Amino acid sequence: FALKRVKFLSVKEKTESLLKTAIAQADNPGKTNLYLSNIKGLESDLGILKKEYIRLWNIENRKWWLDRNLRKYDKLLSGLKKAENPVVIMPDNSTFSGSRRIYLKTPLPADKIRYFVKELKTGKINGPFDYTSPFLITKTSEISAESVKRGKVFGPFKRNVYVYNGRVKNIVLKNMYSSKYPALGLFTLVDGKRGSRNFRDGKWLGFFGEDFEAVIDLGKSTRIKNVSIGFLQQTGPWIMLPLWVEFSFSDDSVSFSSPIRVYPKTDAKAESAIEDFTADPGEIKARYLKIYAKNRGVLPKWHPSAGSRAWIFTDEIFVGIQDQKL
C-alpha cells in the first residue's frame, strides 16, 4: 500500500509538468492525448487508493486514526478538482493544405469550452463559440479558448495557428529539426519571414549534428528559374554554415537530376553571418526539388569547443518562377 501511495504522489507532483508538456506537444496529437489521459487518471487513482486504504486500515483495527487520514485524501481530491484546467489547442499537421483543423481538449473534465477565432491579417474576431467538435480555419488566426468547470472560468489560453496558401504543397524532411529550435515547424521554411542574427528569435529551424535534407513538392511541373535557402552562422553557440548545399530536381520524386553544389562565401571563422545559398538551374521544369545541406559534423580545431557537434540553422526557401517567388 505504501508503495502505491508513493507512486500516486509522484504522479500528482508531475501533473504540472505533464500539463506544460501537453501544451508544448500540441502539434503532436498522439503524444498530447497520452499526456492528457495520464492526467485524467489521477482522480480515478485517488478513489482506488482511498478504498484500499480503508480496507487495509480496518484489517489492522486502527480506526481511531482513520477519519483523520481520510481527510488528507479528501483534501487531495478537492485540490485536484480545483486545479487549473487549461485548454490545449491542437492544430492538425496539414500545414500546406490551405486549411487547418483545430482540436480543443482539457486535462480534466470541463463543463464547457468556449473559443474565439481572430484573423491575424485583418484583426476580425469571430465568436464566442461553444466547442462541440473540431473546426476548420482557412486563414492564419489566433485561437483563444477558455474552459468552464463548476462555474469557474479558466483562461483564456491563446495560440497562433498558421495557414499556408502558397504554391508549395508539401515538404518532407529526412532529419527532424531539434525540439529546442522548432520555430513554426515546416511553415518556417516558406512563411516569407527571415530570421535575424539572434538565433533565439523563433524564426530558425535548428539541426544538431544532422544534415538538412528537404524534398519540396510544388504540386505540378513548374518552370523554375532559381532556388535559394538561407542559413545562419553564430560560431559562439556552435552554429556553423553548412559545408555545402546541393539542389536537385525531379518530376516523380524518385529520379532527381545531378545536384548543383554551392559552397559558402562566408569565412568559417566569422563570428556572425546570414548567407543565402542560390542555384540557377537554367529554367528547368520540375515538380519536386531537393535541397541538401551538409553539416560539418563537429566544430573545427580552432573553435574553443572543438570536437563538439555543430548546429546548422535554416529559415527560408525561395523558388523563383517566372519573376515570382513562393
pLDDT at 276 over 70: yes
The enclosing H or E element of 214 equals strand 212-224
pLDDT tens across 34-48, in order? 555 555 555 566 566
Q: Which residue bears the cell 513548374? A: 222
Cβ(315)–Cβ(234) below 8 Å:
no
pLDDT at residue 86, as a whole number: 79
Mean per-residue pLDDT over the chain, rounded = 82
Beta strands in 5-87 (DSSP E): none
pLDDT at 176 over 80: yes
Domains of the chain: 2-82 (no CATH), 88-161 (2.60.40.10), 170-325 (2.60.120.1190)
Ramachandran region, residue 217 (left: φ > 0; alpha: ψ -120 to 50; beta: rest): beta
The residue among 304, 315, 307, 313 whose CA lies nearest residue 236 is: 304
The CA distance from 100 to 89, in Å, is 12
DSSP 179-193: TTS-TTGGGGGTSS-
pLDDT at 69 over 80: no
pLDDT at residue 304, as a whole number: 93
Residues paired with 247 in a beta bridge: 260, 291
pLDDT tens across 177-229, in order? 998 998 888 889 998 889 999 999 989 999 999 999 999 999 999 999 999 99
Q: Pick the residue with more confidence: 76 or 238? A: 238
pLDDT band per the 50, 70, 90 thresholds, residue 232? very high
pLDDT tens across 278-302, in order? 999 887 899 999 999 999 999 999 9
pLDDT at residue 110, as a whole number: 83
Q: Pick the residue with more confidence: 274 or 55? A: 274
Residues 6+ apart with CB under 8 A from 37: none
pLDDT at residue 5, as a whole number: 54
